[in-house]
């Protein structure tokens, strides 16, 4: 098939005006000017999207599909209190509830132009929903306990093996995720890292996301040291203040030795970034989540100067309310300019790179996805550029980052298969809508 539009954004090359993408057997066969493509492939059917942009599928470098039903439940709270509320309310949900919530998230991802996810889950609901939806990605088995028990890692290994079997025929890979410095016992952190290295798995961990985390690790104080710790059943665990940053603490326990994605990295100094660079760690940047919970703004300029692999994530509707990487790109860029008092260094095309090729590089998938190039998997998104708030149009990167939202997505394709098409799949599945409405009552009235 041939997909044509006013603009094609390969990402690894300059935008092409009046261009087309040729797809065959789930793979990109050719990219070029429409007139030339039509001459070359006369017998291939064409779909012309008009005033639109064809670009690589968006890559959500950090999310939790199963938290989608928490949208708006714990609004307007700082991180520590949000975490406590979310933990308390989670206990009301059944396995069936988590799955329905993950199904909602998977559908939102496709409608938002997201083709690849890096999802962290301890229930497996996200994996099942992603398989059903046809999403590509890495599903991380999450483990957390400040109270060390050797059986935790044994259970994790068994669960990962089961997930690998279940996902064998899908577009998913399985990884491991020790949750973070304030939720995972030191020995468990090291065991998870050793397991990941031994099994050649990608590892994911929340790192220096909030001042609450920083205060807990370094000084043993704050809401995470008391109410959250007690709520999690770790009241009897003696936590010795480490007197150092979360990054340095995690490094002491060999967390970064294997292939690792560090999520957030907001409260980091130059020494912390040196450690991440030394260990070749990737970073997942979640600007909307961080802004909404008052966590801070990540030092992207310093991160990019060290040439760390960097992608962008939505975190989940539980924090940012939407899975909209267009909004993440826009807010992420504007926040960087605001805190740095400068428009220099980061531009719209840089953030589109983060949401596509940058994410692919962070996940180790750049040979398969992230650009529109011959031989790559046909993970493709078409974005409408014809609306009044996008006109007049002269620069496509600017239009995508400064004017678009998930509502502008016209089509989402994964490996040559159309999984969302506007006007044909506008409405949410009524079964999912009914299920999540019932779950919301549990969360708000329980």
Question: CA distances (Å), 65 to each of 106, 121, 248, 291, 393, in order?
Answer: 6, 8, 30, 20, 34
Tell whether the model's pLDDT for residue 437 goes beyond 90.
no
Q: Name the band, by pLDDT with cuts 50, 70 and 90, for residue 228.
A: confident
Query: What pLDDT does 427 receive?
Result: 61
What the block records as the tokens of 207 is 């790192």
Whether residue 25 is contained in a domain is answered as: yes
Q: Is the pTM of the predicted complex or chain greater than 0.85?
A: yes
Whether residue 445 is contained in a domain is answered as: no
Query: Are residues 132 and 221 both part of a single domain?
Result: yes
User: What is the C-alpha to C-alpha distance for residues 302 and 286, in angstroms, rounded to an integer?
Assistant: 16
Query: Are residues 242 and 380 both part of a single domain?
Result: no
Query: For residues 240 and 295, is the Cβ–Cβ distance under 8 A?
Result: no
Whether residue 426 is contained in a domain is answered as: no
* Span 274-294, average pLDDT: 97
* Span 265-271, average pLDDT: 97
Domain CATH number, residue 47? 2.30.40.10
Query: Are residues 261 and 355 both part of a single domain?
Result: yes
Tell whether the model's pLDDT for residue 276 goes beyond 60.
yes
Query: What pLDDT does 237 receive?
Result: 83
User: What is the C-alpha to C-alpha distance for residues 64 and 121, in angstroms, rounded to an integer?
Assistant: 7
Q: Which of 31-45, 101-115, 124-138, 414-428 has the lowest mean pLDDT?
A: 414-428
Query: Are residues 206 and 256 both part of a single domain?
Result: yes
Give me the number of domains the chain comprises: 2
Query: Are residues 353 and 375 both part of a single domain?
Result: no
Cα-trace Rg, the chain: 22
* Dihedral angle computed from the Cα positions of residues 426, 429, 432 and 434, in that order, rounded to the nearest 10 degrees: 100
**Residue whose tokens read 């059903």:** 132
Query: What pLDDT does 446 receive?
Result: 57
Query: For residues 250 and 225, is the Cβ–Cβ distance under 8 A?
Result: no
* Span 247-275, average pLDDT: 97
What the block records as the tokens of 418 is 């159309």
Whether residue 254 is contained in a domain is answered as: yes
User: What is the C-alpha to C-alpha distance for residues 30 and 174, in angstroms, rounded to an integer?
Assistant: 31
Query: What pLDDT does 345 receive?
Result: 86
Query: For residues 184 and 246, is the Cβ–Cβ distance under 8 A?
Result: no
Query: What pLDDT does 425 receive?
Result: 64
Tell whether the model's pLDDT for residue 3 goes beyond 80.
yes
Query: What pLDDT does 266 receive?
Result: 98
Strands 58-63 and 52-56: unpaired
Query: Are residues 124 and 106 both part of a single domain?
Result: yes
Query: What pLDDT does 428 receive?
Result: 66
Whether residue 434 is contained in a domain is answered as: no
Average per-residue pLDDT in the chain? 94
Query: Are residues 123 and 262 both part of a single domain?
Result: yes
Query: Are residues 226 and 344 both part of a single domain?
Result: yes
Q: Name the band, by pLDDT with cuts 50, 70 and 90, for residue 436.
A: confident
Domain that holds residue 100: 58-363
For the chain, give the secondary structure using H, E and C: CEEEEEEECCCCCCCEEEEEEEEECCEEEEEEEHHHHHHHCCCCCEEECCCEEEEECEEEEEECHHHHHHCCCCCCCCHHHHHHHHHHHHCCCCHHHHHHHHHHHHHHHHHCCEEEEEEEECCCHHHHHHHHHCCEEEEEEEECECCCCHHHHHHHHHHHHHHHHHCCCCCEEEEEEECECCCECHHHHHHHHHHHHHHCCCEEEEECCCHHHHHHHHHCCCHHHCHHHHHCCCCCCCCCCCCCCHHHHHHHCCCCCCCEEEEECCCCCHHHHHHHHHCCCEEEECHHHHHHCCCCCCCHHHHHHCCCCEEECCECHHHHCCCCHHHHHHHHHHHHHHHHCCCCCCCHHHHHHHHHHHHHHHHCCCCCCCCCCCCCECCEEEEECCCHHHCCCCCHHHHHHHHCCHHHEEEEEECCEEEEECCCCCCCCHHHHHHHHHHHHHHHHC
**pLDDT 10s digits, 417-433:** 999 999 876 666 777 87
Whether residue 393 is contained in a domain is answered as: yes
User: What is the C-alpha to C-alpha distance for residues 205 and 226, in angstroms, rounded to an integer?
Assistant: 22
**pLDDT 10s digits, 14-65:** 999 999 999 999 999 999 999 999 999 999 999 999 999 999 999 999 999 9
Query: Are residues 52 and 120 both part of a single domain?
Result: no
What the block records as the tokens of 299 is 């030092």
Contacts of 438 (CB under 8 A, 6+ apart): none
Query: Are residues 188 and 222 both part of a single domain?
Result: yes
Please confirm whether the linkage preceding 392 is cis (ω < 30° from 0).
yes
């Amino acid at each position: 098939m041939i997909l044509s539009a006013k603009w094609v954004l390969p990402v690894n090359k300059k935008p092409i005006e009046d261009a087309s993408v040729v797809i065959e057997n789930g793979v990109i066969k050719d990219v070029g000017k429409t007139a030339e493509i039509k001459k070359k492939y006369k017998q291939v059917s064409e779909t012309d999207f008009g005033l639109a942009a064809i670009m690589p599928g968006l890559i959500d470098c950090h999310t939790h599909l199963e938290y989608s039903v928490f949208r708006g439940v714990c609004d307007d709270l700082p991180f520590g209190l949000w975490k406590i509320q979310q933990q308390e309310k989670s206990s009301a949900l059944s396995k069936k509830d988590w799955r329905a919530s993950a199904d909602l998230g998977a559908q939102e991802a496709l409608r938002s132009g997201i083709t690849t996810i890096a999802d962290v889950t301890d229930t497996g609901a996200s994996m099942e929903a992603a398989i059903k939806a046809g999403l590509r990605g890495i599903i991380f088995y999450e483990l957390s306990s400040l109270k060390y028990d050797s059986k935790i890692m044994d259970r994790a290994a068994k669960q990962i093996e089961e997930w690998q079997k279940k996902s064998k025929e899908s577009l998913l890979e399985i990884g491991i995720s020790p949750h973070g410095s304030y939720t995972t016992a030191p020995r468990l952190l090291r065991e998870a890292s050793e397991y990941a290295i031994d099994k050649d798995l990608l590892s994911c961990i929340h790192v220096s996301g909030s001042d609450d985390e920083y205060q807990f690790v370094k000084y043993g104080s704050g809401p995470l040291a008391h109410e959250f710790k007690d709520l999690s059943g770790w009241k009897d665990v003696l936590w010795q203040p480490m007197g150092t940053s979360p990054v340095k603490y995690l490094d002491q326990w060999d967390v970064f030795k294997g292939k690792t994605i560090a999520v957030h990295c907001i409260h980091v100094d130059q020494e912390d970034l040196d450690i991440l660079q030394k260990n070749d760690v990737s970073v997942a940047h979640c600007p909307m989540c961080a802004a909404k919970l008052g966590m801070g703004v990540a030092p992207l300029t310093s991160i990019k100067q060290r040439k760390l692999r960097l992608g962008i994530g939505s975190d989940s509707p539980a924090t940012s309310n939407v899975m909209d990487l267009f909004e993440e790109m826009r807010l992420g860029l504007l926040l960087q300019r605001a805190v740095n008092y400068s428009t220099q260094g980061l531009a719209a095309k840089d953030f589109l790179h983060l949401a596509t090729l940058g994410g692919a590089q962070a996940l180790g998938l750049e040979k398969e996805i992230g650009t529109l190039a011959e031989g790559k998997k046909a993970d493709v998104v078409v974005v409408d550029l014809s609306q009044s708030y996008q006109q007049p149009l002269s620069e496509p990167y600017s239009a995508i980052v400064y004017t678009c939202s998930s509502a502008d997505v016209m089509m989402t394709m994964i490996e040559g298969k159309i999984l969302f098409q506007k006007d044909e799949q506008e409405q949410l599945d009524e079964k999912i809508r009914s299920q999540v409405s019932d779950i919301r009552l549990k969360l708000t009235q329980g």
